[in-house]
Amino acid sequence: MAEQADAFVFFGATGDLAFKQIFPALQEMVVNGTLEVPIVGVALSGANWTVEDLRKRAHDSLAAHGPVDETAFAKLSGLLRYVDGNYDDPATFAALRRELGDAKYLVHYLAVPPALFGTVAKGLAGANCVEDARIVIEKPFGHDQASAQALDAVLHEFFPEDNVYRLDHFLGKDSVENIVYLRFANPLFEPIWNRNYVDSIQITMAEDFDVADRAAFYDAVGTIRDVFQNHLLAVISNLCMEPPSEGSPSSARDARATLMKAVRPLAATDIVRGQYAGYQDHEGVRQNSTTETFVAVRLFIDNWRWAGVPIYVRSGKCLPETATEITVRFKRPPHVVFDEVVSPDSSHLRMRISPDISIGLGVRVKRLGDDIVGEDVELALVEQAAHALPPYVRLLGDALKGDDQLFSRSDLIDAEWRVVDGVLGQGTPVYPYEKGAWGPDVAGAIIGEHGPWITPFITKSDTKGSPEKAKS
């Protein structure tokens, strides 16, 4: 573990990500006592901002996404500094160095487009701000495998790999970390977590809203790059990796990377892309755009544990609800003891990642009465996500401590791009679907005999009634 940081620098301090996520996280870190060092915001405001303007921006952010804790905000305001200037101007970085004073163990957080990562890194190097410093970058880490490798080469000119922290906020979610804990802390699951007992796995990441003001960004990215290559493959790595070695700080990262290197690259026959009706009416979307707003894929992992087990993943916008959920279906016993037709849903483990955290175990029980007839039930535990530590609070706090376990390493990112690289072009059609549908009908062909797709579980946090299983 590296030294505790003595200053936090964040580029893009006037931007949308800072407004929606970073200022609320910084206030909570102040409340928790995990942030007590100077915070230097860097941006080109276009209006020659001062630190007072940044403090007002921070207060407006908290009023919109807070709430404001005035005591904590007063302390946060006292820690704030500001540098206004172009990222390609050495004077900007000279001013930053002056604001940092004698601070040595710096954390540089880049809430800026990836095209500026190299420019910022070069500027930091020219101002003596890289020695013993860590750089935290946001996804997307490149646009494909080749560009990700080129980005790594640029960053590694100024920062060693151990000091590059690639932030995927999904890895900072308690519910995603709990996948690993649930697997390896409970003796019930590990013996059956393999190809001998698991029939198939389904993962759904659904959003009931459209691209809104992100249309121009989204049209250059699409669902595969926006959430599948990073968030969803990160979930799969936690779900399917081998047990980390005890006592090794990097063992979990090693296990994730090893698993991802075994995932078979996607072919055109493994994917269905879709686009919701009206997508091309958004300002910023190209005419006749073929960018996908929905994707369904079939994955296989070519290793001893998972050989032959299909993993089905779907994600999209303008779907019927907003939820992210995993369902692991177990194989039925080879001999039917009771004379009845049993649904494959009767034996499963369900893990819900958002909007709440829940775990459900599907079992079959006998109905009351003389007849030996069963019914499917689910034993469910539900915990509201409001009790979880927000991902940016956890991850930025870890970066300040020099704890990189929940950050993505370059070999993991390279392996993730290898999985999707072959289907990033225009080789697969884009099927239309109506808003409020579960994507295009043809998505059912991907899942085939292991279908149908499992609709995420509706819990009391989603409806005014008691928990019930949603109907497709």
254-282, pLDDT tens digit by residue? Answer: 999 999 999 999 999 999 999 999 999 99
Examine the pLDDT at 119 and tell me if it is beyond 60. Answer: yes
Q: What is the pLDDT of residue 339?
A: 67
- Overall CATH class of domain 171-388+406-450: alpha beta
Catalytic: 108?
no
* Angle formed at CA 238 by CA 314 and CA 353, multiple of 5 degrees: 55
CB 256 within 8 A of CB 238: yes
For the beta carbon of residue 185, count every other beta carbon within 10 angstroms: 10
pLDDT for 465 beyond 80: no
What is the model's pLDDT at position 384? 62
Reading the block at residue 418, the tokens are: 């290898």
Q: What percent of the chain has pLDDT over 90?
A: 78
> Above 80 in pLDDT, residue 432?
yes
Query: Worst-scoring range by mean pLDDT, 143-152, 271-280, 331-340, 393-402?
Result: 331-340
Mean pLDDT of 116-130: 95
Structure tokens at 47: 């209006």
- Of 10-14, 60-64, 112-116, 369-373, least confident by mean pLDDT is 369-373
Distance separating alpha carbons of residues 331 and 346, to the nearest angstrom: 10
Other C-beta atoms lying within 10 Å of the C-beta of residue 463: 11
Is the pLDDT confidence value at 111 over 60?
A: yes
Q: How many CA atoms lie within 13 A of 37 on its CB side?
A: 23
CA distance 252 to 244: 5
| Band of pLDDT at residue 221, cut at 50, 70 and 90 | very high
Residue 363 reports pLDDT greater than 50: yes
Beta bridge partners of 351: 326, 359
Residue 301 pLDDT: 98
Say whether pLDDT at 422 is over 80.
yes
Strand order in the sheet with 164-167: 80-84, 39-43, 7-11, 106-110, 134-138, 164-167
pTM of this prediction?
A: 0.91
Asked if pLDDT for residue 314 goes beyond 80, the answer is yes
Average pLDDT over residues 10-20: 94
Q: Which pLDDT value is given to residue 470?
A: 36
Strand (E) or helix (H) holding 256: helix 251-261
pLDDT of res. 385: 58
Amino acid letter for position 193: W
Residue 325 CB partners (closer than 8 Å, separation 6+): 203, 204, 350, 351, 352, 353, 454, 456, 457
Task: Note the pLDDT of residue 451.
Answer: 83
User: Would you say 453 and 447 are in contact if contact means Cβ atoms under 8 Å apart?
Assistant: yes
Reported confidence tier of residue 466, pLDDT bands at 50, 70, 90: very low
Task: Give the C-alpha separation, 293 to 278, whole Å.
Answer: 11
Q: If you average pLDDT over residues 231-239, what whole number do you get?
A: 96
And the tokens for 115?
Answer: 């095209």
Q: Which residues in 368-378 are b (16+ Cβ under 10 Å) and which e?
A: eeeeeeeebeb
In the chain, which residues fall in CATH 3.40.50.720?
7-138
Strand partners, 359: 351, 381
Between CA 383 and CA 266 the distance in angstroms is 35
Q: Hunting for tokens 């007063």 — which residue is that?
A: 74
Strands 106-110, 134-138: pairing is parallel
Tokens 């979990």 appear where?
A: 252
Asked whether the predicted pLDDT for residue 449 surpasses 90, the reply is: no
pLDDT confidence band for 248 (50 / 70 / 90): confident
Among 134, 160, 111, residue whose Cα is nearest residue 403: 134
Please answer whether residues 295 and 314 qualify as being in contact, where contact means their C-beta atoms are separated by less than 8 angstroms: yes
> What pLDDT was estimated at residue 463?
41
The set of residues, in sequence order, having a beta carbon less than 8 Å from that of 261 and lying 6+ positions away, is: 411, 415, 418
Active-site entry in 59, 108, 231, 348: 231
The mean pLDDT of 387-402, rounded to a whole number, is 91
Helix (H/G/I), strand (E/B), else coil: 108: strand
Residue 12 has pLDDT above 60, yes or no: yes
pLDDT tens readout for residues 42-69: 999 888 899 999 999 999 999 999 899 9
pLDDT value at 469 more than 60: no
C-beta of residue 268 within 8 angstroms of C-beta of residue 442: no
Separation of CA 356 from chain center: 15
Work out the pLDDT band at 306, boundaries 50, 70, 90.
very high
Q: For the beta carbon of residue 110, count every other beta carbon within 10 angstroms.
A: 22
Q: Across all residues in the chain, what is the average pLDDT?
A: 91
42 strand-pairing partners = 11, 83
The reported pLDDT for the residue numbered 427 is: 79
Of 18-32, 214-228, 328-342, give the lowest mean pLDDT range. Answer: 328-342
Every domain of the chain with CATH number 3.30.360.10 lies at 171-388+406-450
pLDDT at 167: 95
Q: What is the pLDDT of residue 345?
A: 67
The highest-level CATH class for domain 7-138 is: alpha beta
Classified as helix, coil or strand, 280 is helix
Residue closest to 117 by CA, chosen among 95, 139, 96, 100: 139
